[in-house]
Copies of this chain bind each other. A is one copy, B any other.
Amino acid sequence: MKKLINQPEDFVRESLEGMAAAHSHLIQVHFEPTFVCRQDVPLVNKVAIISGGGSGHEPMHTGFVGMGMLDAACPGEVFTSPTPDQMLAATQKVDGGAGVLYIVKNYSGDVMNFEMALEMARCEGIRVRNIVIDDDVAVKDSLYTQGRRGVGTTVLAEKICGAAAERGYPLDKLVELCRRVNLNGRSMGLALTSCIVPVRATPTFTLGDREMEVGIGIHGEPGRQRLPLKTANEIAEMLTLSILEDSGYTRIMREWDEEQDGWIDIEATDFPFQPGSNILVFVNGMGGTPISELYIIYRRVAQICSQHGLNIVRNLIGSYITSLEMEGCSVTFLQVDDEMMDLWDAPVHTPTWRWGV
């Protein structure tokens, strides 16, 4: 294992300390329990947005804390969900009276820990709602699995909902928007190499020199399929077609119902990708892949989109939701309406993104 680290156990803390030193005008970093929040919280009468998950996906989520995006992020150990006490502390810190939205990726750990946190926050009298992002088309069925994982769409939902919260959307409308983003977003990813969890010091899986792992999540877990290494064009085609040819996926989402003051199950189905649609294409690097290669993937993805009559109206190319130093990429398509596009373009100022200001 070759990494720029000190003691493996200190990886998360020291990386956060580095962020604190670098971005003290934008964010606060708290320890015990660990969370990162905007410098200017709580914002009175603004809905606060909190996300979180295992570390190792940087810049997500900590790099997205700031004006126009997240109010707080709760980083766990590497690839391990954060714990409810972190989320509760963050919730208490950022709540400005208009309620809090948890944007949660669909991993059993994240989901359960955020659910516990929500229950605790309710006990403290704070309004909280949750949306689970599950956009990974590598997972075909929701009946015999934990359901689709939350991947690339999470980044887009955080930007879009963050802008909406900044504009003053109330909690209910924000929940509705976030759900809509999720149902319009689909992703598919692939690894060329494994990553190494610092405290483990050996690769999580081993791939032959001419192999790739297709349909991966973002935790270094093995994917759905191991295939012989293909060219960038073939890879772009495979990922794009997995997204476009996926038939509407139905899942049962567990959301907090404020009226019943309890959990309810909501059934929801993806919106299919229609020719003529406006889409945002996100080509994401897994952490160890240089951006030059991502452009080669984007090149072919754009060609395929145009063949399928899809209009790419926005794009995002870079390593934003990563698995440590893993080489590989994922592709996310988000079908956008005017409202989403407008919110995408809205000002943002975080350690990772800054535009419009």
Contact = CB atoms under 8 A, between A and B. Distances in A.
Interface of A: 2-7, 11, 14-19, 21-22, 55-56, 58-59, 63, 192-193, 209, 212, 229, 231-233, 235, 287-299, 302-303, 315, 317, 319, 322, 324-325, 327-329, 354-357
B22 A298 contact: yes
A7 B288 CA distance: 20
Contacts of A232: 3-6, 14
A291 B11 CA distance: 12
Contact of A296 (B4, B296, B297, B303): B4
A299 B59 contact: no
B292 A58 contact: yes
Contacts of A229: 2
What are the nearest 10 A-B pairs in CB distance?
A: A18-B295, A18-B299, A4-B293, A2-B192, A58-B292, A288-B288, A21-B302, A287-B290, A18-B298, A354-B355
A295 B15 contact: yes
Given A11-B292, A290-B324, A299 B193 contact: no
Contacts of A292: 11, 15, 55-56, 58, 324
A34 to B, nearest CB: 14
Given A4-B329, A355-B355, 8 more contacts: A4-B232, A4-B328, A6-B232, A17-B299, A18-B294, A58-B295, A292-B324, A355-B357
Contacts of A59: 291
Nearest to A285: B4
Nearest to A14: B296
Contacts of A298: 18, 21-22
Nearest to A322: B290
B329 A327 contact: no
Contacts of A324: 290, 292
A303 to B, nearest CB: 8
A11 B296 contact: yes
A113 to B, nearest CB: 21
18 contacts: A2-B193, A2-B229, A3-B293, A4-B192, A4-B232, A4-B235, A4-B293, A5-B293, A7-B231, A15-B292, A15-B293, A18-B297, A18-B299, A18-B317, A63-B291, A288-B325, A290-B319, A355-B357
